[in-house]
Every structure is written in C-alpha cells, then in structure tokens.
C-alpha cells in the first residue's frame, strides 16, 4: 500500500508541476485571443507596428554588424552616418510594405519567400545607395565597397528576419503544446507512411489542431533512402519493410505508436501493398488509418477539425475487389425502365445509385418505409437530375397494390432487394418473415410474368444454403420459386428470366456487424461475439451490387443456362472474433485490455459456419470473372404453388409453429427433387421434335407453360 501511495503522490506532484508550468502560457494566449476578438482592427494595427519595430531594430543591428565585420575595408563616410543608416532601414521597410511582404503570414516562411525578401533588399539597397551618392550627397560610387557590404549585410539581415519569425513560430507551438499538456485528453502517437512532401505538410497541420490529441513520432518513406534524416522536424525512420524494427525502437524510447497513418492519394501505394502493410501493422498491434481532412465532408460531433479514420475493413480482407464490364450493363440498362424493390435499404439504395449511372429511361423506387423511400428519392434526384425517378410507397406483401404499380409503371427489369434479413428478428416473427420473404417474393415474380417484364433479379444470401434458421429457409423458398419460373420458360426464348444472386455478409449495412461493434465501442461496452469459432464471408455493399449488375447483365446478354444461381467468389471466410479485434485496433484501442470481447452463445437460427453452395447443388465455373454458378435442384412449380397457399393460410391463422415446420419441410424437399432433369430432357426432346418436323406455321407452340398457374389474387 505504501508503494501505491508513493506512486500516486509522485504522479500527483508531476501533474501539479506540469499545470504550473503551462498555466502562464495558457493565460497569455487567452488574454491575446480575447483582445483580438474585442478589437480586431486595433489588434491588426498593433501587430503591424510591432512587426515593423522589430524588423527595424533587426535591420539597424545587422547594418552596424556588417560595418563591424568589414571594418578593415575602406568605406564611404556616409556609411557611418546614423541618418543614412536610419534612412536605409526606413526605405527598405517601406518597399517591403509596398510589395505586400507584411500582408502574409511569415510564420510559415518558405525558400521562395526568403529569395523574394533577399531580392527586394538587394534592389532597394542599391537604389538607395545610387540616389544617395548621385543626388543627395555627391561622392565616389564605391561600387566594390558597396557590393562587398551588401554581400555581407543582406544574408545576415535575411537570416535575422527569418530567425525572428522562426522564434515567434516556436513560441506559438510551445503555447499549443502547453495547452495540450493542460488538457486531460490522452495523446495518440502515430506514424506517417507516405511521400516526404505529404509528411512535411502533415507535420505542420497536425500540431495546429490541439483537440485531435495526435502526436507524430516519425515518418516511414516508401523506399527508406532518407533514413536518419528529418522532414519538418520529424525523423525519417525507414521503409515499410522495417516496420517491426521501427516499432521496437520507438517502444524502447517510450514513444510506441498506436496507429500507422497511410497517405491515401499516393501513386506508389497500390492495393497489394496496402494488404502487406496492413498485415505487418496488425502483427505490431497497430491501427492502419488515414487522415480525414476537414474539407472532405462534415464529421458528426467533431466540427471542422483534423482526425484520423480507419482504412475500410474491406481493404484488409485479403482478396481483390471484383470489376465490372460496363459494356454489358450499358446495353441492358441504358434506356430501360427499371424497378428496385426495397429501394430504401442498403442494397436497394446502392442499386439505385449504380443503375442511375447508366442512364435508364426511368427507375421506380418501391419501398414500404416512408422515410427511407423519401431519403433515397431525394438523394437520387440530386445526384442524377437527368434520370426520371418514381417513388412508390408499397409493400410487396400487398399483392393487389403491387400489381397496380406494375400496371402503371410497366418495368422491364426488376431488381428485387426487399426482404426481412435479420436472423433473430425473423426467428422471433415467423409470420412476418414468411409473408415478406416468401409470399412477397412470389407476388413480385408473378407480377413480372403477368406484365411481361424482361427479367427479375432476386437478391439472396448465403444463409439460404442448407438453412438452419427460418430466415435462411424463407430466402431459400424465394430462390426455389424463381428457379422454377426460370426453368419452366426454357422452351420459350421470350419468357421472362428469373435470376438469383447469392452473397455473404455486407459490411456496413444497417444492423450489420461493423456498425454494431462501432456502437458498442462508442458506448464503452464490450464487443459481443456469439462464439469464438464463428466465421462469415464478407463483402462491401459496392461489391454486392456490382455482383448483382454484372451477373444479371451477362446472363441476359448471353442467354445463360436457366435456373442457375450466381455466387461471388469471396475467398475464405473470416472469424468474427478477428474482425472484432481489428475494429478495436482501428479505434486506437487494445483488444482484451481497453475493450473486452464477450462471447454470448449462438442465437436461434444461427450457424457456426456459412456455406455458399447447397448439398443438392453442383458448383460450376462461370464465364464471369470472380463469380461461380450453382446448378440447382428445384421443386416443381405446382408443388410450390400448393405449398405457398398453405403458408398463406397458416399466416392468416397465426399458426407460427406449423408455419415454421412446413417452411423447413418444403426446403428439405428440394434435396431429392429430379424436376430440373425432367424439364431439361423435355426441353431437349421438344427442340429435337421441332427440328425434325416440317414447319406448319410461323412459330411452333411451346411445349411447357411460361407463366405460373393461375392463383387467387387475394391469397396473400
């Protein structure tokens, strides 16, 4: 106990001494700031008079010093006349004032400013001398003497003037650092990685923002050639390959950084280098960050101050982003009438933004959430004034209202992103989940058939693969219905296409993992992870939408095989606990020390590992780079229609238990279904028959129906 008390007394004494040492500079700065705010014109006049007086004293002193240095040189008697020295100083100051020298901040002087000052003093001094010896006091020119004098005097004068300004700048930096020491905010040490010009700017910029609490401890250049030199007063410590050694040296010096701030705009930093640097930084428990500048946009609760932000997590996942072939999209989307269901959601909103880029004739925004629909319509109209947008407030559950929208707008391509996606929420509300994800999807698909749209692209999820929970099962039934409709149109090239796109977790979407972790850190709570071994596939919302657009456009352009599901090659799954640790480091904190990680157990309907392909599906290569295709084993359409009718009756009765049982039973039936084989064989036989028979008319009749059997429109 005595040791603890002694340590506490030592710390208290250090804090008190630090406060006493910094209180006076803080009070002086506060007094100066108050005076400037009260009388800005008077403050400017006093500032100018002070600078002129200081510069006059400096010039007069350097004039006398130069005479003393050149005492052995034969000088004109005029040079020793105090009146000439005073006139010399006064006229130089007047010229400097006239050319605007005193209208700029000389605290941040550059080499260019120093050269300009030297040239001004040289020209003015020669003119003063020539006028003096030619008009005022006629005498010998003493060209050699005057040249020698100016050669000595001007460098000394420039050095003294700049030295005074450097001293003033150092004084203000001392005041800022004193104010930082007074504040209770902990200082966050950072390393800079980038071009030396950028590092020099950051060395000036960071100390000006006291509230950021940042302290730069060194610079890492890309090649490390300038190691052991300095830039902006900061040591150049080496290259990125030397990061472990650099961190160890800083740690021994008591200056261990918490973050590696990377120059974002450098041409010498590509994605692969970012991944290597991120891996090395993670080994050293460093956050990989970049500067968020005040001019890049508003920052909530931070005002216009400088801060650092994490690098996007997607850049650290270890796989390249997918690329898009614009020619396919332009041919499919440009000039078309597009509908996006769930347009106010994360995926739907990004679909609207990316589709609008290709100038469709119009985009119908359909959503049941009023504010979300208003927000995406407002954003879309502002960003894309040349595209027509129609906001339709409608739920996909409302079959009659949905069909009215289709009849009024007549979309050619429908992107179906409306769904209930949160696993625990659907598990707790089975009737709502089945109503939206199953019957709502059926409503949209049936409207596509009824109003002869060209295609429907359904957004699905990896949770639909071998589903355990109800949310995955509902999405699987949506897939099965669209697959059945796509397959049944095999014999009619004019029948609508029904395409399904499947991907994993979307980073940053509403209610997803990363926003939850960020909220928990902001609230000072531990990060909650369901299981130490749970892992997921991750992608960005931009990648998800690119996948949807790329696969659907290629499928429509190339008339791909019907019934397949498009799946993004997302690399290896990532453990959630590793994501949690990374998010903590990106916040400048230490996992399990500053922020604990709490394991809460798997939630209802949640799997430990996600899959991308069902046990009844065959994985095949796709012609689209970065995308696979799944060959389905679907359920006959008649069975789905009958089963969906039973689901609708159970929803109306509120029988949640039987509803869940029937939903999982229908999904399980697809594993033993041979309907796809039968359809393909019938389609092949039909084509062979048509080829062998002589033509009897303009077109042979299709062998299979191209639309779902008629159903009562009020079933759902």
State the CB neighbour count (10 A cutoff) for residue 73: 14
Residue 556 is part of a domain; what is its CATH number? 3.40.50.720
Q: Which residues contact 120 (CB under 8 A, 6 or more apart)?
A: 92, 95, 96, 99, 101
The answer to whether residue 5 sits within a structural domain is no
The answer to whether residue 99 sits within a structural domain is yes
Q: Which residues contact 110 (CB under 8 A, 6 or more apart)?
A: none
The answer to whether residue 575 sits within a structural domain is no
The answer to whether residue 175 sits within a structural domain is yes
Looking at the structure, tell me whether residues 240 and 375 fall in a common domain: no
| Chain segment 325-353, per-residue pLDDT in tens | 566 788 889 999 999 999 999 899 999 99
CB 372 within 8 A of CB 344: yes
| Chain segment 397-428, per-residue pLDDT in tens | 999 999 999 999 999 999 999 999 888 899 99
Looking at the structure, tell me whether residues 111 and 238 fall in a common domain: no
Query: Is residue 577 very low, low, confident or very high in pLDDT (cuts 50, 70, 90)?
Result: confident
Looking at the structure, tell me whether residues 428 and 494 fall in a common domain: yes
Q: Which residues contact 531 (CB under 8 A, 6 or more apart)?
A: 576, 599, 601, 602, 608
Of the segments 286-290, 321-325, 645-649, which one has the largest average pLDDT value?
Answer: 645-649
Looking at the structure, tell me whether residues 422 and 470 fall in a common domain: yes
For the record, the structure tokens of 271 come out as 């994605």
Give the pLDDT of residue 326.
63
Write down which residue in 127, 159, 180 finishes a domain: 180
- Give the range among 92-96, 163-167, 401-405, 470-474 with minimum mean pLDDT: 163-167
Q: Which residues contact 170 (CB under 8 A, 6 or more apart)?
A: none
Q: Full-prediction pTM beyond 0.85?
A: no
Give the pLDDT of residue 678.
59
Say yes or no to pLDDT of 635 above 90: no
Give the pLDDT of residue 168.
74
Say yes or no to pLDDT of 714 above 50: no
Looking at the structure, tell me whether residues 271 and 236 fall in a common domain: yes
Say how many residues make up the chain: 716
Residue-range definition of the domain harbouring residue 283? 186-296+304-311
Looking at the structure, tell me whether residues 155 and 95 fall in a common domain: yes
Selection from 506, 467, 487 nearest residue 615 by Cα? 467
The CA distance from 161 to 96, in Å, is: 12
Looking at the structure, tell me whether residues 172 and 199 fall in a common domain: no
Look over the chain and give the mean of its residue pLDDT values, rounded to a whole number.
Answer: 76
Looking at the structure, tell me whether residues 150 and 225 fall in a common domain: no
The answer to whether residue 60 sits within a structural domain is yes
Cα distances (Å, whole numbers) of residue 292 to 193, 199, 278, 317? 15, 15, 18, 22
Between 469 and 174, residue with greater pLDDT:
469
| Chain segment 666-702, per-residue pLDDT in tens | 888 776 665 555 555 655 655 554 434 344 333 333 3
The answer to whether residue 269 sits within a structural domain is yes
Between 31 and 658, residue with greater pLDDT:
658
Give the pLDDT of residue 395.
96
Looking at the structure, tell me whether residues 256 and 172 fall in a common domain: no
The CA distance from 538 to 513, in Å, is: 10
Give the pLDDT of residue 627.
76
The answer to whether residue 533 sits within a structural domain is no
Looking at the structure, tell me whether residues 73 and 30 fall in a common domain: yes
Say yes or no to pLDDT of 6 above 50: no
The answer to whether residue 6 sits within a structural domain is no
How many domains, the chain? 3
The CA distance from 628 to 569, in Å, is: 6
Q: Which residues contact 13 (CB under 8 A, 6 or more apart)?
A: none
Looking at the structure, tell me whether residues 345 and 447 fall in a common domain: yes
Phi/psi-derived region of residue 272, left when phi > 0, alpha when psi is between -120 and 50, beta in every other case: alpha
Looking at the structure, tell me whether residues 63 and 194 fall in a common domain: no
């Amino acid at each position: 106990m005595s040791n603890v008390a002694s340590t506490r007394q030592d710390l208290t004494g250090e804090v008190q001494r630090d406060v006493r040492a910094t209180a006076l500079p803080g009070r002086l700065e506060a007094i100066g700031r108050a005076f400037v705010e009260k009388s800005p014109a008077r403050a400017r006049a006093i500032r100018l008079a002070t600078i002129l007086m200081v510069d006059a004293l400096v010039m007069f002193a350097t004039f006398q010093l130069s005479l003393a240095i050149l005492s052995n040189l034969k000088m004109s008697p005029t040079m020793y006349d105090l009146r000439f020295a005073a006139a010399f100083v006064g006229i130089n100051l007047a010229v400097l004032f006239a050319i605007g020298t005193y209208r700029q901040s000389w605290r941040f002087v550059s080499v260019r400013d120093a050269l300009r000052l030297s040239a001004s003093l040289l020209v003015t001094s020669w003119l003063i001398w020539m006028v003096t010896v030619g008009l005022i006091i006629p005498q010998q020119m003493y060209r050699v003497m005057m040249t020698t004098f100016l050669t000595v005097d001007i460098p000394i004068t420039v050095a003294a003037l700049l030295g005074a300004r450097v001293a003033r700048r150092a004084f203000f930096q001392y005041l800022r650092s004193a104010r930082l020491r007074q504040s209770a905010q902990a200082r966050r040490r950072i390393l800079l990685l980038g071009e030396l010009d950028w590092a020099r700017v950051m060395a000036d910029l960071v100390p000006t923002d006291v509230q950021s609490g940042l302290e730069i401890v060194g610079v890492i250049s890309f090649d490390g050639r300038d190691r052991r030199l300095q830039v902006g007063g900061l040591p150049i410590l080496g290259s990125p390959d030397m990061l472990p050694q650099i961190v160890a040296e800083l740690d021994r010096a008591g200056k261990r950084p918490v973050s590696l701030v990377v120059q974002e705009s450098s041409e010498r930093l590509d994605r692969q280098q970012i991944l290597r640097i991120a891996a090395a930084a993670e080994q050293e428990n460093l956050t990989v960050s970049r500067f968020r500048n005040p001019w890049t946009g508003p920052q909530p609760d931070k005002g216009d101050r400088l801060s650092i932000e994490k690098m996007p997590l997607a850049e650290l996942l270890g796989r390249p982003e997918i690329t898009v072939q614009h020619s396919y999209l332009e041919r499919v989307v440009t000039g078309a009438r597009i509908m996006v269901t769930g347009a106010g959601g994360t995926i739907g909103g990004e679909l609207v933004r990316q589709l609008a880029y290709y100038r469709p004739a119009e985009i119908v925004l359909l959503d049941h959430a009023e504010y979300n629909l208003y927000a995406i319509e407002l954003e879309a109209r502002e960003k894309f004034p040349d595209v027509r947008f129609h906001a339709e407030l409608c739920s996909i559950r409302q079959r009659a209202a949905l069909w009215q929208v289709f009849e009024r707008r007549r979309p050619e391509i429908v992107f179906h992103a409306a769904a209930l996606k949160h696993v625990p929420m659907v598990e707790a509300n089975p009737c709502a989940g089945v109503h939206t994800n199953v019957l709502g999807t059926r409503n949209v698909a049936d409207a596509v058939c009824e109003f002869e749209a060209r295609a429907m692209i359904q957004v699905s999820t990896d949770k639909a693969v071998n589903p355990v929970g109800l949310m995955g099962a509902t999405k699987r039934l949506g897939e099965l219905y669209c697959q059945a409709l796509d397959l049944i149109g095999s014999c009619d090239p004019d029948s609508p296409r029904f395409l399904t796109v499947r991907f994993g977790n979307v980073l940053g979407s509403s209610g997803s993992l990363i926003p939850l972790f960020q909220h928990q850190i902001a609230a000072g709570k531990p990060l909650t992870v369901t299981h130490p071994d749970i892992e997921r596939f991750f992608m960005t919302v931009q990648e998800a939408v690119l996948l949807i657009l790329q696969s659907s456009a290629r499928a429509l352009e190339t008339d791909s095989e019907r019934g397949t599901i498009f799946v993004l090659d997302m690399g290896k799954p990532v453990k959630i606990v590793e994501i949690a640790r990374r998010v903590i480091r990106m916040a400048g904190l230490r996992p399990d020390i500053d922020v604990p990680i709490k394991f809460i157990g798997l939630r209802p309907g949640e799997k430990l590992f996600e899959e991308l392909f069902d046990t009844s599906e065959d994985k095949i290569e796709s012609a689209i780079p970065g995308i696979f295709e799944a060959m389905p084993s679907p359920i006959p359409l008649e069975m789905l229609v009958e089963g969906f009718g039973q689901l609708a009756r159970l929803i109306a009765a509120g029988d949640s238990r039987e509803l869940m049982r029937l939903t999982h039973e229908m999904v399980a039936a697809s594993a033993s279904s041979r309907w796809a084989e039968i359809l393909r064989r019938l389609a092949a036989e039909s084509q062979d028959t048509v080829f062998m028979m002589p033509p009897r008319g303009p077109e042979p009749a299709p062998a299979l129906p191209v639309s779902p059997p008629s159903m009562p429109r009020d079933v759902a």
